[in-house]
Amino acid sequence: MAGPTILQLPRGEVCTQGAQALRWRAADGRDVLFVSAHAKFAAGTPIRGGVPVVFPWFGDDPEQRGRPAHGFARRVPWQLTAASDPAAGRVGFALQDDAGTRALWPHAFAAELAIAFDRELVLALAVTNRGAAPFRFEALLHTYLLVGDVRAVELRGLHGARYHDKRLGTRAAQREEVLRCTGEVDRVYQGTGAACTLLDPGLRRLITVSKDNAPSTVVWNPWHDKAALLTDLGGDEWLRFLCVESGCVADDAVTLAPGATHRLQVRIACQAM
């Protein structure tokens, strides 16, 4: 079986499987997104890096039926829409339910993702309920940001936000102005629309992740012990990224009425320090 199709754009790359942005270059020509050198580009296999689309559930199967983690959207091909103009750095993708998705999640839906690769990387996700009854879903743009050394970066913008620490199983509000990574981090921040700014002294740049209608922010890095268990992450690659993810998960999950559409948008900007 052939592997996923990757489209080349003036300032980046995107894969039709999962409608997944893989590369975006800032104004100085440097990459802003991390993709593992050990990522598996195989049909139906998640790609480690870039901006995977998590839908319609986040994390392990909430029903414990053996369904894939983070839903099915990142594992299946999306269709390019007529609005796409790869030469201008704009692509649009569409996904809707079929027999395969309904076997995993029994709802009629339509999803659209528009991506613009320009001075900013802009991703806009829309989910529509095509059925006759409401449904509840989670969605997340699982962004891997490329850093010089995750142990040296500072993340701002989450002060005061309440979060669930999935590693410790605890809930708290962030007291610190700055989040620094000193070990594995796996936090789901809820009810926060604030932009996050990542200060990276190693690559001497600031990355800002702004969002609309996306009240959840997930911050994740597996650190060395868990990274060693991931076959699509090699050696010390865990040092080279921090995931700052935006969407609607857990307490912020969306219940969508028949015929209704939920839209969220994420904007990523990068500037030299």
Q: Judge whether 162 and 173 are in contact, CB under 8 Å.
A: yes
Which structural domain, as residue segments, surrounds residue 98? Answer: 6-272
* First-to-last C-alpha distance (Å) of the chain: 45
- Residue ranges in the chain modelled with pLDDT below 70: 1-2
Q: What pLDDT shows up at residue 2?
A: 63
Q: What pLDDT shows up at residue 221?
A: 98
Q: How far apart are CA 38 and CA 45, in angstroms?
A: 13
The CATH number of the domain holding residue 147 is 2.70.98.10
Q: 47 in a domain, yes or no?
A: yes
Strand partners, 1: none
**Backbone phi and psi for residue 252, each to the nearest 5 degrees, phi listed first:** -95, 10
Q: 212 in a domain, yes or no?
A: yes
pLDDT tens-digit map of 138-170? 999 999 999 999 999 999 999 999 999 999 999
Helices (H), ranges, 86-221: 99-104
Owner of token pair 């610190």 = 176
Q: Judge whether 69 and 166 are in contact, CB under 8 Å.
A: no
Q: 1 in a domain, yes or no?
A: no
How many distinct structural domains can be found in the chain?
A: 1
Q: What pLDDT shows up at residue 3?
A: 76
Q: 124 in a domain, yes or no?
A: yes
pLDDT tens-digit map of 190-237? 999 999 999 999 999 999 999 999 999 999 999 999 999 999 999 899
- Angle (nearest 5°) at CA 87 between 83 and 92: 30
Q: 162 in a domain, yes or no?
A: yes
pTM of the model: 0.97
Q: 141 in a domain, yes or no?
A: yes
Q: How far apart are CA 58 and CA 188, in angstroms?
A: 11
Q: What pLDDT shows up at residue 83?
A: 83
